[in-house]
Structure 1
Amino acid sequence: MTLTVQPSKHILIVPVHMWGHVRPLCIASARMVKLRPTLTLTICIASRMYDRARTEIMRDFAHDDKEPLSRIRMISVYEGKNTLDPEALVDNFLAVWNKLSSGETVSAKSLDGVERSVNLREAPLNATLIDSYALEIFMALQKQRESSSTPLHLNIYTWLPVATNCIPPLFGVDMWPLAEAIAEREGISFNDAAHRICAEPVGRLVECAGMPPMYDHEYSPQAFPSGAERCGRIFIKVPRMLAQTDGILTIDAADYQPEVTAAMRAQLAETGRKMYYAGPLIANAESGTSSQRKQSAQDTADDLPAEHGQQGVLDFMDAQLKARGERSVMYVSFGSMFWPLDPAKLLVALEVLMEQNVPFVITRPSPFAQIPDDFMKKLEEYGQVYIADWVPQQALLHHPAMGWCLTHGGHNTTLECITAGVPMIVWPIVMDQPTNAVHLSDGLNVAYELIEVRNGHGLGRIYRTGYTPVGTLDAVREELRDVLARAFGADGEAKRGRVEALKERLLSAWQGSGSGQGRLKDGSGIGRREVEAFLDDACARVPFTGGGVAVAA
């Protein structure tokens, strides 16, 4: 009997230096190497994300399962000091790429701790998976693929770390030519023209599949400052990238918003491409485990008394469970990057939580997160609050004392809340957060959307209700009081029941796959099938062994 040896496959992955983009890609990477025993992944990771990403990937493995870890290799890339701009990461990655594509060897380290260099002549590359926010990397590789005298047999795929419901309204039309025309006609820079198109709403009504009609200003309810340069370098060019990519792998779950899923699939199918729905990508980390508690105990509750910081967030939750019972605590989280654009409204919201005697946990990992010293004293006097730069979010959400999550509505937190059975109060800021807020509150009826917290041009009229927010601090206070009364009453319990039903549907995406137990067991969930389809398609081409022309770094 002759055994057929399957040829090895190799995919290069490039996320940007934002944890919300990196974390789910870590879980996807773990699942990929478990699904394909001949697959090697090389991940070019921002230097400050290196250790955290390594830990996150390893969470999805059994302790004794070392072999797949040897096939995940990480190259550290310096990302610069700007947490919102990928410019330095792009330049430094392209320097690495030029070495790889010219046949040079680049040092890396596999997750089993062994130094393993990367050389494309020894390990030919089948595909790249580029973060959509690293659009400039995509464009550089695409240009190389099109212009090189040596054909680059290389699939270039896009990693989409957002809910796909925001793609049609925000990036459904290529506005690049319009920006060029405006710049030429009015004698302004391309970046300024792009900013006018991307960041200056005019009251235009936007209609797309799966979402109710909304005015353009409703897609930026906090009037988040995009900046003219980033609008010109990145945002105005996203539709062009989506039109040129060989396919899109997203963190979104196919069953989260089926109408949008169908519309996105149909759009890509028109050009023979596919949309792969990998979500929900939740690591195998059960709440309450000793490792999670140990990790939590090492966290620091900044600026609060020492004894409070040493308590650990899960111990805080245990104390609240004993004192107040199940579902009593509010979790306040705006993700790793965002913070309300009008901080005074957040302070009012926290005052209402204290007034209503609601215990809460609040995280502030964002570089923009600030709580004034005098307000910190109020929180200290209140006592029933835990503040930290970071908490083990999955363990926290699965704790029986967890009642509600006050969130910006980013898709990582949204999916983690749903799969933990926790209903939400949504304070959206930008990107997929406004579309998630509408879908969660109006479409799924598992959340409340805060309206009076809007500011700037976000205070315009709401199309679906006809209401124009007042936006004052008093209006925020009254709205949140009303929401809390409903959330901790019969209406809130009805929402919790709907979350539970949605939870079961989304968890079935990886059901039966045995994720977290080494090699994935057989499973028929849609998330697993989508990732397998992505791997089949991504590795189908003759691999690239180097020899292409260099790209500008």
Structure 2
Amino acid sequence: MGSTSISKHIVLHGIPGGWGHNKPLCALAIRILENRPEVVVTYLTGAPAYSKIIGELKHYSSAKHEAIQSRLNIIDIAGPLEGPLVNLELDSFAPAFAALYSSGSLTCLTSGKTIHGYPAPTLAIIDPFSAYAFEAIREIAGKNVSILAWFTSNAGSSLRLCGPAYLGGVADPALETPEGRAAMKRKIIAGEPIKSMYPVLPPSYDYEWFPSSDCRMAYVDKKNLAATLETICQIYIREADGLVCVSANVFEPEAVAAAKEWFSSMKKPWYNVGPLSIDGPKANAAGAELQGETFVVSFLNRIQSEFGPNSLLYMSFGTVFWPEAQDRLWAVLDGLIVKRQPFLFSHPSPFQKFPDEMKKKIADSGIAMEVDWAPQELILAHPVTGWFLTHGGWNSIQEAFMSRVPLIFWPFQADQPYNAMRMSYLKAGFALMEVRAGKDGTRKPYNCEELPAFTPASAQAEIEELVDRLRGNEGSMVRTNFEALADAMNKTWEFDGESRKDLSLMLENFLQ
């Protein structure tokens, strides 16, 4: 039942199959509720994300959670889903939103909780990959409900993936008009193939946006799915009333200025509200007894006692990506063992294939561990963790900022190459070159005077050399630069911080 003190209602939605689209949305929900006590937030999702959202919210401190929980509704509107979750259309979104818009009843299919009696929503923050949600809201509420596109990476990658050509973007120029977008929607609905375009975006070559173009992903792109999803995002970013970006000016001031100018030309606002991570108490990494995590913490504690703080290299490509040229991966792991560099490798990808002999080599090393899944935030928060070798997804980078753990990049595609290039440019991270693979990945990188060898042997030599650099003056310099950037990013949520101001401005503008 809605509270009589509640006068404003905001709806949130991220694609249920993309945890990277939902994790920071949990933090945004909390920030909104802390900022505006008269607001209720209803977060519409599906079963694949529901349990993760509930688990993520448990990181928030109990006392603070109690103060907002009556105004936060997590509603599973779809139940279990089948098929490639990245492009599922939720037919249940339209009736669920219609119920909210009429102040009617809506029941969570997982918890059985029913909500009703809240005021009609006036603002929706929606993932631009979910075309069904945009179309449903416009059909049901017209312009009575404002829609802000929810972009879960940074301004630079948004400009490249969705921006106009004059800013180095790949969007079809036809999308700049309502007629062009309508025509493209008809093509998508008809299942016509969508062309994907990749112009040059200095200081890189166009093909460097696919440095590991042979990577395996958690779905098969038989119908040019990636290009279709990209086009959907491009369409609905333009049809939204504004955009919420999980970045900050201190990370990429040039890109932020360009993005805001682009949106200003459309007479729409662009808000930077990052980095976004729930900053409540984390588990005590030195003595956690959480189920399934004790063996990881014991390993971390042992490495710290033997090698000291900042001695461990944590490695993960997230839940989706995995290199198909696995010989490069085994070579990197061999190089770390040869250099006696302690590491923990988490590899949850459904496509990972770990040879028994490599597992034995890691176990016998006495300095390393490999696991199918690991508590990443807990590992990054542990004092033993000194470096994070990552694919470079924005959520992983935000978590590294929170724990001030500098990064080594092995990017595959999407926003990852931009993140790697940006951090390398700032001298706040390292990027591996010899691990690149595939038709595009093995072409000459922009910042290399000579063509790398791109072999397992050269990949092992590169990581061995990098370990020496990490332990020397260059590693200290990069760590110092990264920590300064992390501190600046994390300060964006202080009382007078940029992100806090942007969130307040967003709510002021759209909750009048």
**TM-score relative to the length of structure 2:** 0.87
Q: C-alpha distance in 2, partners of 1:291/1:153? A: 51
Aligned AA for 1:219?
W
CA contact (8 A) 1:171 1:238 kept: yes
Deviates more, 1:21-30 or 1:212-221: 212-221
Give the alignment of 1:266-345 within 5 angstroms: 266-286=261-281, 289=284, 293-295=288-290, 297-299=291-293, 311-345=294-328
Aligned twin of 1:219: 209
Q: C-alpha distance in 2, partners of 1:323/1:479? A: 26
Q: C-alpha distance in 1, partners of 2:188/2:232? A: 18
Query: Which residue of the other structure, out of 131, 138, 141, is the alignment partner of 1:135?
Result: 131
CA contact (8 A) 1:331 1:406 kept: yes
Count of aligned pairs: 488
Q: C-alpha distance in 1, partners of 2:61/2:256? A: 30
CA contact (8 A) 1:408 1:427 kept: yes
CA contact (8 A) 2:401 2:487 kept: no
CA contact (8 A) 1:191 1:231 kept: no
Q: C-alpha distance in 2, partners of 1:440/1:401? A: 23
CA offset at residue 381 of structure 1?
1.9
CA offset at residue 159 of structure 1?
0.9
CA contact (8 A) 1:130 1:137 kept: yes
Aligned twin of 2:168: none
Aligned AA for 2:255?
V
**Residues 86, 176 of structure 1: CA spacing in aligned structure 2 closer, same or farther, 3 A cutoff?**
farther
CA offset at residue 329 of structure 1?
0.5
Deviates more, 1:372-381 or 1:96-105: 96-105
Q: C-alpha distance in 2, partners of 1:401/1:108? A: 41
Q: C-alpha distance in 2, partners of 1:221/1:379? A: 27
Aligned twin of 1:197: 196
Give the alignment of 1:139-154 within 5 angstroms: 139-142=135-138, 144=139, 151-154=142-145
Q: C-alpha distance in 2, partners of 1:335/1:128? A: 28
CA contact (8 A) 1:249 1:277 kept: yes
Query: Which residue of the other structure, out of 113, 116, 121, is the alignment partner of 1:115?
Result: 113
Aligned AA for 2:87?
P
Give the alignment of 1:147-296 within 5 angstroms: 151-173=142-164, 174-175=171-172, 177=174, 193-194=193-194, 196-198=195-197, 204=199, 206-207=200-201, 212-223=202-213, 224=215, 226-231=221-226, 233-286=228-281, 289=284, 293-295=288-290
Query: Which residue of the other structure, out of 118, 121, 125, is the alignment partner of 2:121?
Result: 125
Gapped regions of structure 1 (runs ≥ 5) = 300-310, 512-522, 541-553
* Cα-to-partner distance string for 1:471-507 (whole Å, 9 max, x where unaligned): 2111211111111111121110111111121122111
CA offset at residue 454 of structure 1?
1.4
**Residues 12, 273 of structure 1: CA spacing in aligned structure 2 closer, same or farther, 3 A cutoff?**
same
Helix, strand or coil at the partner of 2:341: coil
CA offset at residue 255 of structure 1?
1.4
CA contact (8 A) 1:73 1:116 kept: no
Deviates more, 1:76-85 or 1:63-72: 76-85
Query: Which residue of the other structure, out of 441, 462, 473, is the alignment partner of 1:458?
Result: 441
CA offset at residue 284 of structure 1?
2.1
CA offset at residue 44 of structure 1?
1.1
Q: C-alpha distance in 1, partners of 2:84/2:27? A: 22
Q: C-alpha distance in 2, partners of 1:235/1:408? A: 20
CA contact (8 A) 2:277 2:399 kept: yes
Q: C-alpha distance in 2, partners of 1:433/1:103? A: 41
Identity %, equivalent residues: 26
Helix, strand or coil at the partner of 2:53: helix
Aligned twin of 1:528: 500
CA offset at residue 170 of structure 1?
2.3
Helix, strand or coil at the partner of 2:276: coil
* Cα-to-partner distance string for 1:211-237 (whole Å, 9 max, x where unaligned): x33222111111157553424542123
Query: Which residue of the other structure, out of 457, 470, 486, is the alignment partner of 1:474?
Result: 457
Helix, strand or coil at the partner of 1:425: strand
Q: C-alpha distance in 2, partners of 1:526/1:141? A: 30
Aligned twin of 1:15: 14
Deviates more, 1:485-494 or 1:286-295: 286-295
Gapped regions of structure 2 (runs ≥ 5) = 165-170
Higher relative contact order (CA 8 A, sep 6+): 1
**Residues 65, 404 of structure 1: CA spacing in aligned structure 2 closer, same or farther, 3 A cutoff?**
closer
Aligned twin of 2:106: 106
RMSD between aligned alpha carbons?
A: 3.1
Helix, strand or coil at the partner of 1:67: helix
Helix, strand or coil at the partner of 2:115: coil
CA contact (8 A) 1:18 1:83 kept: no
* Cα-to-partner distance string for 1:412-458 (whole Å, 9 max, x where unaligned): 111221332211110001111000000111x2101111112111222
Aligned AA for 1:474?
A
